Amino acid sequence: MFSYFLTAFLLLVLAKGFEGYTFSCLDGCECDTDDEAIHCHNRPDRHSVQLPPSRLRGFTVLALTRNNIDVLPSEEVLLEKLPDLKAVDVEGNEHFDCSTLDHYRTLMVMSDCGKTPEQLEADRAKLPTDTQPNEDCDFECVANRRSRELREYVKHLWEMVKEKVSRLAKKHGLDKVVDDVGNFFNDVGERISNIKLKKKK
């Protein structure tokens, strides 16, 4: 069963392209079709996840870092509204209920649960920040910096997903799958790295 899920996971993500654009979506979030991520970062006033009224396809990552979310919608609801979703990131949500993680058997949910203070400090340093324009960095500068930051964040997130999937594969004795996972995510990382930064016209 695990092997079937993992194979389907890899094939679905690998089939996606990496060319597209960014648009506003959900509740003040950014939907980036380049890296197939919905970015909902740095909103301490966000206590819940606002999902689209109808299905929104083409996004494999729902990034909810540094909000104030304690629980996620059920896995069934998330996959109903975001059918291509593979990973959800709730790092930096200090009040997230870690006891709910066992409810997610298909989606990879990345969180702060179980991390040491050192791990928390290291991982949170890689989360997107909320940089504002100033004398040293105007709007265009901030936009370019944010684009680079989000791209690096997505690469980091896929690395964490890779480690988690590999760990589960080893636990189930699927050594061949571990090799396939490594090769697959190396390819994903290279493809994300090759995406050119968006520039204002």
d(CA 22, CA 30): 6
Spell out the residues 6+ positions from residue 76 whose beta carbon is closer than 8 angstroms to its own: none
Residue in this structure with the two tokens 């509204």, named with its chain if needed: 81
How does pLDDT run across 55-84, given as a tens digit for each residue?
A: 999 999 999 999 999 999 999 999 999 999
Q: What is the pLDDT of residue 200?
A: 42
How does pLDDT run across 112-167, given as a tens digit for each residue?
A: 999 999 999 998 888 888 777 787 888 788 777 877 888 888 888 878 777 776 67
Q: Which of 6-10, 36-40, 62-66 has the lowest mean pLDDT?
A: 6-10
**CA atoms within 13 A of residue 105's CA, in its CB half-sphere:** 5
Q: What is the pLDDT of residue 197?
A: 43
d(CA 40, CA 29): 5
Q: What are phi and psi of 180, to 5 degrees?
A: -65, -40
Q: What is the pLDDT of residue 154?
A: 84
Cα end-to-end distance, the chain, whole Å: 48
d(CA 25, CA 38): 8
d(CA 133, CA 141): 8
d(CA 57, CA 96): 26
Q: What is the pLDDT of residue 20?
A: 60
Give the CA distances from residue 61 to residues 38, 76, 116, 171, 175, in Å, rounded to whole numbers and listed in that order: 6, 16, 25, 25, 26
Question: Which residue, among 8, 6, 5, has the nearest Cα to 181 in the 3D structure?
Answer: 6
Residue 13 in tokens: 């993500």
d(CA 36, CA 62): 9
Confidence of residue 201 (pLDDT cuts 50, 70, 90): very low
Q: Are 121 and 100 in contact (CB under 8 A)?
A: no
Question: Which residue, among 161, 31, 160, has the nearest Cα to 86 in the 3D structure?
Answer: 161
Most confident of 84-93, 169-178, 181-190: 84-93
Residue 80 in tokens: 């109903």
How does pLDDT run across 97-111, given as a tens digit for each residue?
A: 999 999 998 889 999
State the pTM of this model.
0.72
